[in-house]
């Protein structure tokens, strides 16, 4: 397998690699048919400020290892945060004892040897940010201050926060596979409150990257948070009825996440999905393309292998509107008599292929309808596809935003929503693992006045 020996954070953690190797060796010695161990260490700092004062300051240093052993087709798992040899030996024994008392499961076991990432690329996921607590505090204060000064109608702050994390991941199993890589993540966020006519509104903005050099400037984050908040003032209700709806990129990612949840192996073999038995069928418009790109250099969602050591790969999930692939780990794949898709632990850089229209052009194409910029509640049923959530956003007429709206509910069925997507924009939000542009849906029910 490929290892980046030039990376000091990687090579300085040889003792962590030893822990995983030891766990698998002890499992075999204890009579396990197969075993796997997963270890992660996380260090970092989080600082939050509110109205010019420090609210919280936290230093993180977490570590833990999960060990799973299989005795025949019986499975046992145990975890430990103590990484001494003695503690690992005891944890392996506990996991093995549990396996001897659990029922056989014909689908239980580690991933197939041929599916493992015996070679994997360096995805440039580790960019340490040598920022002190004082510097992080100053950055958060700068961000908040720029928001509070943006407009006199900004009357209060819900705070600004800075977060910096460095992690080291190791996975190994009894096939002899051993993978490890470091990663980092940084974020800066701000949320403020504005008031007009005795009515208050709040909104936020944030930046999140692996490389601190790619973060949006603190003043810019604060100003965007303030601008978004001001734009929501003097919101109105709209009449109950049906209209076209645009999900902003931030909200569209959730819409696509519901789709991924519906085609996840666990929900499929339990028959608890509204997209059951739809592989090879058209579930989106014929021009729609959704694919996974796990090896984008330096991206938030990139990973060289999944949580079972299975190699991640670029592949289509939806092409020409047709569902081409489910989202499977090894266990769910066996339950469905299929092959793992390298998605133990989730998807990696899920991309909705953008269109050619800017957000402004998308508004013009919609002509009249609702732009959703906030969703509330948990009214999504993955079994039936029924969708009903509280929402806020902006009303559009003649292709232009007219005024903000609040205290409404939008409803439909996810299967219908996906089929009735009219267009997607080119305004992709790259801050998340799921990269989506704005999505225009032909019609939904809106409950207002």
pLDDT exceeds 80 at position 264: yes
Residues 31 and 136 in one domain: yes
Residue 8, helix vs strand vs coil: helix
In a domain, 195, yes or no: yes
Q: Tell me which residue range forms the domain holding 273.
A: 235-449
* pLDDT tens string 164-210: 999 999 999 999 999 999 999 999 999 999 999 989 999 999 999 99
Residues 135 and 199 in one domain: yes
Statement to judge: residues 213 and 359 lie in one domain: no
Are both 269 and 325 inside the same structural domain?
A: yes
* Residue 349 DSSP one-character state: S
**3-state SS, residue 144:** helix
Report if residue 3 sits inside a domain.
Answer: no
Residue 8: pLDDT over 50: no
Tokens, residue 62: 């977490």
- At 404-432, the pLDDT tens digits run 999 999 999 999 999 999 999 999 999 99
- Between CA 172 and CA 188 the distance in angstroms is 34
The verdict on residue 20 lying in a domain is: yes
End-to-end Cα separation, the chain, in angstroms: 61
Q: Are residues 214 and 358 in the same domain?
A: no
Q: Are residues 360 and 418 in the same domain?
A: yes
- Residue-wise over 208-240: b if at least 16 C-beta within 10 A, else e? bbbbbeebbebeebbbbbbebbbbbbebeebee
**Against a cut of 0.85, is the pTM above it?**
yes
Quote the CA–CA distance of 90 and 95 in Å, as a whole number: 9
Examine residue 102 and state whether it is found in any structural domain, yes or no: yes
Q: Do residues 355 and 241 share a domain?
A: yes
The two tokens of residue 102 are: 């659990």
Q: What does DSSP say about strands 350-352 and 369-376: parallel, antiparallel, or unpaired?
A: unpaired
Q: Supply 52's token pair.
A: 């010019």
Please state, as a whole number, how many other Cβ atoms lie within 10 Å of the Cβ of residue 261. 16
What pairs with residue 89 in β-bridges?
none
What pLDDT score does 5 carry? 36
- Same domain, yes or no, for 199 and 119? yes
CA distance 81 to 40: 10
Which class for 42: exposed (0-12), middle (13-18), buried (19 or more C-beta within 10 A)?
A: middle
Structure token digits, residue 262: 């519906």
How do residues 292-313 score in pLDDT, each as one tens digit? 999 999 999 999 999 999 999 9
**Is residue 1, in this structure, part of any structural domain at all?**
no
Segment 308-326 mean pLDDT: 98
Mark whether 227 and 239 lie in a shared domain: no
Q: Answer with the one of 231, 255, 270 that is the final residue of a domain.
A: 231
Mean pLDDT computed over 1-20: 62
Give the pLDDT band (50/70/90) at residue 12. Answer: low
Q: With contact defined as beta carbons under 8 Å apart, do 209 and 186 qualify?
A: yes
Domain boundary among 215, 231, 247: 231
Residues 227 and 246 in one domain: no
Rg (CA), the chain: 24
Answer whether residue 149 shows pLDDT above 90. Answer: yes
Would you say residue 148 lies in a domain? yes
The rounded distance, in Å, linking the Cα atoms of 404 and 370 is 10
**pLDDT score recorded for residue 449:** 84
List the alpha helices (DSSP H) in 175-303. 218-231, 249-262, 265-269
Task: Look at the chain and report how many structural domains it folds into.
Answer: 2
What percentage of the chain carries pLDDT values higher than 90?
A: 95
Question: In angstroms, what CA-CA distances link 201 with 196, 224, 253, 407?
Answer: 9, 15, 23, 12
Paired tokens of 311:
């190699």
Question: CA-to-CA distance for 15 and 30, rounded, in angstroms?
Answer: 22
Q: Hey, which residues does 170 pair with through a beta bridge?
A: 39, 180
Q: Are residues 157 and 26 in the same domain?
A: yes
195 Cβ contact list (under 8 Å, min separation 6) = 153, 155, 201, 233
Residue with tokens 């052009």: 361
Calpha distance 136→115 (Å, rounded): 42
The dihedral region occupied by 58, where left means phi > 0, alpha psi between -120 and 50, and beta the remainder, is beta
- State the CATH number of the domain containing residue 38: 3.30.2290.10
Q: Considering 231, 254, 289, which residue would you say is the last residue of a domain?
A: 231
- pLDDT-derived band at 7, boundaries 50, 70, 90: very low
Distant-in-sequence, close-in-space partners of 215: CB < 8 Å, separation ≥ 6: 186, 188, 207, 208, 209
164: exposed, middle or buried (Cβ count in 10 Å: 0-12, 13-18, 19+): buried
Q: How confident is the model at residue 328 (pLDDT cuts 50, 70, 90)?
A: very high
Query: Distance between CA 212 and CA 204 in Å, rounded?
Result: 20
Name residue 71's beta-bridge partners. 74
- What's the whole-number mean pLDDT along residues 32-52? 96
Judge if 255 and 239 occupy the same domain: yes
Residue 28 in tokens: 């075999």
Sheet holding 178-196, edge to edge: 74-80, 53-71, 34-50, 154-173, 178-196, 199-209
């Amino acid at each position: 397998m490929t290892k980046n020996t030039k990376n000091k954070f990687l090579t300085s953690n040889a003792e962590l690699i030893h822990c995983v190797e030891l766990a698998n060796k002890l499992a075999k010695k204890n009579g396990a048919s197969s075993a796997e161990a997963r270890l992660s260490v996380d260090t970092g700092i989080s600082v939050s400020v509110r109205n010019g004062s420090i609210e919280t300051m936290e230093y993180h240093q977490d570590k833990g290892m999960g060990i799973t052993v299989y005795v025949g087709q019986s499975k046992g798992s145990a975890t430990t945060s103590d990484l001494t040899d003695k503690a690992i030996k005891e944890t392996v024994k506990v996991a093995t004892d549990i396996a001897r008392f659990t029922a056989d499961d014909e689908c239980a076991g580690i991933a197939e040897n041929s599916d493992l990432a015996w070679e994997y690329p360096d995805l440039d996921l580790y960019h340490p940010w040598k920022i002190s607590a004082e510097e992080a505090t100053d950055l958060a204060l700068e961000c908040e201050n720029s928001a509070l000064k943006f407009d006199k109608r900004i009357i209060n702050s819900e705070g600004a926060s800075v977060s910096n994390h460095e992690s080291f991941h190791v996975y190994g199993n009894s096939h002899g596979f051993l993978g490890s890589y470091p990663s980092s993540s940084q974020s800066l966020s701000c949320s403020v409150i504005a008031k007009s006519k005795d009515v208050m509104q709040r909104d936020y903005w944030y930046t999140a990257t692996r490389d601190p050099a790619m973060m949006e400037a603190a003043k810019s984050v604060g100003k965007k948070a303030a601008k978004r908040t001001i734009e929501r003032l003097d919101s109105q209700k709209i009449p109950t009825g049906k209209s076209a709806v645009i999900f902003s990129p931030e909200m569209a990612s959730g819409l696509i996440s519901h789709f991924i949840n519906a085609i996840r192996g666990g929900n499929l073999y339990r028959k608890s999905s509204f997209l059951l038995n739809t592989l090879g069928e058209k579930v989106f418009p014929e021009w729609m393309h959704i694919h996974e790109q796990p090896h984008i250099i330096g991206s938030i969602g990139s990973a060289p292998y999944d949580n079972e050591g299975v190699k991640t790969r670029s592949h289509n999930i939806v092409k020409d509107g047709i569902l081409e692939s489910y989202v499977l780990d090894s266990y769910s794949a066996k339950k469905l008599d299929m092959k793992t898709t390298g998605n133990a632990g989730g998807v990696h850089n899920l991309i909705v292929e953008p269109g050619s229209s800017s957000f402004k052009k998308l508004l013009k194409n919609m002509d009249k309808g609702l732009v959703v910029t906030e969703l509330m509640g948990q009214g999504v049923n993955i079994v039936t596809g029924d969708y009903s959530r509280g929402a806020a956003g902006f009303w559009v007429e003649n292709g232009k935003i007219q005024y903000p709206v609040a205290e409404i509910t939008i409803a439909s069925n996810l299967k219908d929503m996906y089929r009735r997507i009219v267009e997607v924009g080119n305004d992709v939000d790259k801050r998340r693992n799921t990269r989506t542009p704005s999505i225009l849906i032909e019609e939904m029910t809106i409950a207002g006045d």
